Chains A and B, each alone.
Chain A
Amino acid sequence: MKDNDQVHWAMVIDLQKCVGCDTCTVSCKAENRTPPGVTYNVVTEVEMGTFPHITRVNHPRPCMQCDNPPCAQVCPVKATYKMENGIVAVDADRCIGCRYCMVSCPYGARYFDFGQDYGQEMAGYNHLTTPEYGVNRGIRKKGKTPAGTVRKCHFCLHRLQRGEEPACVEICPGDARYFGNLTDPASVVARLAASIRAMVLKEELGTHPRVIYLK
């Protein structure tokens, strides 16, 4: 991680460009091959105003990769921690599955892997797993890590390590997502984060999210 010292990954999501197609959610499931009940990215639909003055906002919700992550603060074994590159990681080999981080996340971004799979719907689902955090775990089996542990979005760290963008950013048909290094003032994300439209979720909690929305 030495050469990553200057990198602090961040994501900017333009809510005006999001059409609510859920392609990010699907691409995330395909990329990370998350089991049933585990969805690193969701797009919520919030109705605003009262009829007839009404509008709908599509709100994509990955993990906020907070700079003050409440989840890492409460983890009894430091299985979840803030990496130098800004990503909040989960060490699936250390997580004891107490789920304290899940009740502590103000964004509902954490999911428990109950050990289910799509084996019924999809032949060979268990045979191809994603090397999350760069760890190749081989065939998915009942009771084998990461089953029984807590999982979350990690900005597709394994893709970043290959020099690719997170799957949701690459796939977004409306180009509503931007990804980059927030410590570089010339980067797109840094310039957008300085926009007057920029906001973060539940700012009052002091979590300092690294996912910034343009309203």
Chain B
Amino acid sequence: MSAAKTGPGSPGITLGSDFRSTYATLLILMAAGAYAIGARVLGGLNVTGLTSITPWGVWVVFYIFFVGLSAGAFLLSTLIYVFGMHRFEKIGKEALLVSLISMVVALCFILLDLGRMDRFIYALWFGNATSVLAWEVRFYMLYILLLAVELFYAMRPDLVRLRGEASLRGRLAAALTRNRDNLSPAALERDHRVMRILGALGIPLAILGVHGGTGTLFAVVKAQPYWNSALFPVLFVVSALVSGTALLMVLHIFRCRRQGRKLDLDLLRGMGALLLGFLALDLMLEFYEYLIGAYRLEAAEWATLASIFAGRYAWSFWLIQIGLGAIIPVIILARGSRNSAGNLFLAALLVLAGIMAVRFHIVLPPLALPQLPGLPWGHYGPTWVEWVSSLGLMAMGMLLYVAGTNFLPVDGTAEDERSGNNG
């Protein structure tokens, strides 16, 4: 905890004076996003670049991107709470918070994408046992609930300790822990048990339900040979681990720098090693996915791969997905313990950009192709409404993160204070 900077009883400081410019930037982006969302609500999907040939666009791209961030961050937290890798303890609660926020952002994206936003509740009210999407919506709800409960239990001891603080944060802690302020060893042991159980339940939920499920959503579509592969859901889970780890590194380094805290290089290098492993596995799976897809010589898949490797998406594939998003980070991360925090930050940020490109290359290329010879091709280009609303939603996620880490005790448990070397 940055006790030196944010002393108890000084409510002004808990707002995060170090983050004033961040808040200002985010609020401006959110205002612009709100304007774009207003245009979308009034104009319907007519304000987008979508057509009946390319019915899914950047909102779906960002939806799967954020679902992946959420699943990845959550799975990282289970390394600590379920598998006992206490090396990463310090980032556990932050991982749960990031996972929760990413999932909320993902759902906002998909809400924005619905042709009839007013009917979003139908997705829960009505169902269809053969629809992957119908299952997904329910898994998302369960998952959000599980994340919130697990995060609460992970923070409970610190929330109880904060109750006395005469600040907004203290009052929030008091409200959250009303009737749940027992800190006896038995109660703490129960907390740990609850978290182990929730974490263990969460692993199949996150892998099979949330992100593997999102991959399945695409994989079952036999009309799109490029998606129709059993490797797709696995690829989704592995790329989720890659992007979730990278996001946590980026956010953690950014926040610690802003708060003037000393970075725990051991922790970051450990995460860097994890990231390298996940990235290597992801690249291997991607290689097989492309190789076997191309080898089929199936016309639609061939045309899709051609547009990625040597067509419209060649620049973003070779430059962003492969060059900046994979090769450079692998070179940096392979340096292992010689890396500074700045290097690790750069590598993680590049990996995030690379995975975002991966998401673009999943959704858009196959949807440009006509389903039958003679039907028109899709020429989708996102409109300003799609870009600005997306920026706004991402800014909202970042704002929730900055505010969440300011108002909730996500780092610095008593145990961490003892073992850690942060100032």
A interface residue numbers (CB < 8 A to B): 37-38, 42, 44-46, 59, 61, 70, 73-79, 94-100, 102-108, 110-116, 142-143, 147-150, 201, 205
Q: Would you give 11 A-B contacts (Cβ < 8 Å), ordered by A?
A: A61-B375, A77-B122, A78-B128, A95-B119, A96-B122, A98-B110, A103-B224, A107-B371, A114-B46, A115-B46, A148-B116
Contacts of B374 in A (CB 8 A): 44-46, 59
Q: Is the CB of B372 within 8 A of A74?
A: no
Q: Is the CB of A74 within 8 A of B133?
A: yes
- Complex CA gap A32/B130 in Å reads 30
- Complex CA gap A74/B370 in Å reads 20
CB distance from A20 to the nearest CB of B (A): 11
- Check: B296 CB closer than 8 A to any chain A CB: no
- Complex CA gap A97/B48 in Å reads 14
Q: Which of B120, B221, B222, B224 is A96 in contact with, Cβ under 8 Å?
A: B120
Q: Is the CB of A97 within 8 A of B52?
A: no
Residue in chain B with minimal CB distance to A151: B52
Q: Chain A at the B interface: mostly helix, strand, loop or mixed? A: loop
Residue in chain A with minimal CB distance to B129: A78
Q: Is the CB of A108 within 8 A of B372?
A: yes
- New A-B pairs, 12, CB < 8 Å, besides A75-B128, A112-B55: A70-B221, A78-B126, A97-B45, A98-B114, A99-B56, A106-B223, A112-B51, A113-B115, A114-B45, A115-B45, A148-B45, A201-B372
B interface residue numbers (CB < 8 A to A): 44-46, 50-53, 55-56, 110, 113-116, 119-120, 122-123, 125-128, 130-134, 137, 217, 220-224, 367, 370-375
Of residues A103, A114, A205, which shows the largest number of chain B Cβ atoms within 10 Å of its Cβ? A103
Q: Which of A73, A95, A100, A108 is B375 in contact with, Cβ under 8 Å?
A: A108
Q: With A96-B116, A102-B52 as known contacts, state yes or no: A44 contacts B372, CB within 8 Å.
A: yes
Q: Which of B51, B115, B126, B371 is A97 in contact with, Cβ under 8 Å?
A: B115
- Complex CA gap A115/B367 in Å reads 22
Contacts of A149 in B (CB 8 A): 115-116
Contacts of A59 in B (CB 8 A): 372, 374
Contacts of A45 in B (CB 8 A): 374
Q: Is the CB of A74 within 8 A of B127?
A: no
Q: Is the CB of B56 within 8 A of A114?
A: no
Q: Is the CB of A105 within 8 A of B223?
A: yes
Q: Is the CB of B115 within 8 A of A99?
A: yes
Contacts of B132 in A (CB 8 A): 74
Residue in chain B with minimal CB distance to A96: B119
Q: Which of A42, A75, A76, A103 is B55 in contact with, Cβ under 8 Å?
A: A103
Q: Is the CB of B134 within 8 A of A76?
A: yes
Residue in chain A with minimal CB distance to B51: A37
Q: With A44-B375, A74-B133, A76-B123 as known contacts, state yes or no: A108 contacts B116, CB within 8 Å.
A: no
Contacts of A61 in B (CB 8 A): 372, 375
Q: Which of A76, A105, A143 is B128 in contact with, Cβ under 8 Å?
A: A76
Contacts of A79 in B (CB 8 A): 126
Q: With A45-B374, A108-B372, A148-B116 as known contacts, state yes or no: A96 contacts B223, CB within 8 Å.
A: no
Residue in chain A with minimal CB distance to B50: A112
Contacts of B372 in A (CB 8 A): 44, 59, 61, 107-108, 201
